[in-house]
Amino acid sequence: MNEVSAYVADGEQDAEATVRPKRLAEFIAQHRVRDQLDLLLRGAMGRGTPPDHILLSGPPGLGKTTLANIVAAELGSGIRVTSGPAIERSGDLAAILTSLATGDVLFIDEIHRIAKPAEELLYSAMEDFRVDVVVGKGPGATAIPLDVEPFTLVGATTRSGLLTGPMRDRFGFVAHLDFYAAADLEALLHRSARILGVPITEEGAVEIAGRSRGTPRIANRLLRRVRDYAEVRGDGTVTLATAREALTVYDVDALGLDRLDRAVLRALVDSFKGGPVGLSTLAVAVGEQPDTVEEVCEPFLVRAGLLARTPRGRVATDAAWTHLGRTPPAGSNAPADLFGSDQRFP
């Protein structure tokens, strides 16, 4: 990374951090999850005990990390942040767990990717607030039990279907975050614009919200791109016209599909006659990792009714053909997502 791009990346992250809600009351929409969390946190605070462990699941960019931080802020407790892939050995996890203070929040992002031995260690920490640390190898190995201060685990996952049963069972509260309605994203855009000091019109917000794939992170990112455009080519105000022109420059189409989304649909329609085609074949065709296609693109394409997952593979719906400006083949009509988004298909 050269100096300029490092500077730009930092600036973007700062902007993301500034607009990130710090308290539950600032968290837009997701009323059910907010209500449930509010009860959980208040109940626990009233009793003076740490709340049950919390699992947050849902597609990228919907607010899992934000909520984890909010939980700690509402409780007034410290937060330790780590992620499944970062915990390679159970010793790493034991070190984190034994260093927690009473009431701390331990946030484990991508918890479905935690290594098996660490996962087993986590079970006893979650349930009994103790861990057995094994010292030595072979017949001479001994397990030393260590106490863990009462803590609250907040796990986040984009793939709750990949969590093991025992893991899932140990969470007292599971929140599933869903894509945001356009009206909620409009409210979010007005809030972010106010914080960033960007003037935005009603229509400007509607336009950006409609192209944000139901995702707060994308809405905030598009707002920053349109702001650039408005400042450089307009008078600085985000309007319907600047939003449309800017989003055309950045290759975001009317449904909010980006380059990769369209590449997936195009590959399905052009190279595989609409499918069905297996996930890995499709991923190779667009030059991406299967996980990226499955976790980043597909949830929204399924939600938008453009792609269906079937036991035989991915299928483009008639709407996908039409969106690409093609005529759907006669007799085609893909079924909806028959098995929910967490199932892994070939």
Ligand X SMILES: Nc1ncnc2c1ncn2[C@@H]1O[C@H](COP(=O)(O)OP(=O)(O)OP(=O)(O)O)[C@@H](O)[C@H]1O
CB of 285 to ligand X, least distance (A): 24
User: Measured between alpha carbons, how far is 270 from 265 in angstroms, rounded to an integer?
Assistant: 8
Q: Is 51 in the site for ligand X (CB under 6 A)?
A: no
Per annotation, catalytic residue among 64, 159, 211, 227? 64
Phi first, then psi: what are they for 180, rounded to 5°?
-90, 145
Residue window 111-150: x/- pattern of binding to ligand X, with contact defined by CB under 6 A: ----------------------------------------
Residue 158: active-site member: yes
Task: Considering the complex, state which of residue 63 and residue 155 has its C-beta at the smaller distance from ligand X.
Answer: 63
CB of 70 to Mg ion, least distance (A): 13
User: Measured between alpha carbons, how far is 235 from 245 in angstroms, rounded to an integer?
Assistant: 14
User: Measured between alpha carbons, how far is 225 from 217 in angstroms, rounded to an integer?
Assistant: 13
Task: Considering the complex, state which of residue 28 and residue 97 has its C-beta at the smaller distance from ligand X.
Answer: 28
Q: Is 212 in the site for ligand X (CB under 6 A)?
A: no
Q: Is 123 annotated as a binding residue?
A: no
**Whole-number Cα distances in Å, 131 to 116, 122, 181, 260:** 15, 8, 43, 44
Per annotation, catalytic residue among 65, 152, 157, 317? 65
User: Measured between alpha carbons, how far is 245 from 207 in angstroms, rounded to an integer?
Assistant: 11
Contact 307, 316 (CB under 8 A): yes
Phi first, then psi: what are they for 108, rounded to 5°?
-110, 105
20's contact among ligand X, Mg ion, none, with CB below 5 to 8 A by partner kind, is: ligand X
Task: Considering the complex, state which of residue 120 and residue 178 has its C-beta at the smaller distance from Mg ion.
Answer: 178
Q: Is 65 in the site for Mg ion (CB under 5 A)?
A: yes
- β-strand partners of 147: 130
Task: Considering the complex, state which of residue 90 and residue 215 has its C-beta at the smaller distance from Mg ion.
Answer: 215
**11 contact partners, CB below 8 Å, separation of at least 6:** none
Q: Is 172 in the site for ligand X (CB under 6 A)?
A: no
Type of residue numbered 60: P
Task: Considering the complex, state which of residue 64 and residue 170 has its C-beta at the smaller distance from Mg ion.
Answer: 64
Residue 217: active-site member: yes
**Which residue has its beta carbon closest to ligand X?**
63
Per annotation, catalytic residue among 152, 157, 158, 239? 158
Q: Is 7 annotated as a binding residue?
A: no
Q: Is 220 in the site for ligand X (CB under 6 A)?
A: yes
Known binding-site residue numbers for ATP: 20, 61, 64-66, 127-129, 170, 180, 217
The residues binding ligand X (CB under 6 A) are 16, 19-21, 27-30, 60-66, 156, 158, 188, 216-217, 220
**Which of the residues are catalytic?**
64-65, 109, 158, 217
The residues binding Mg ion (CB under 5 A) are 64-65
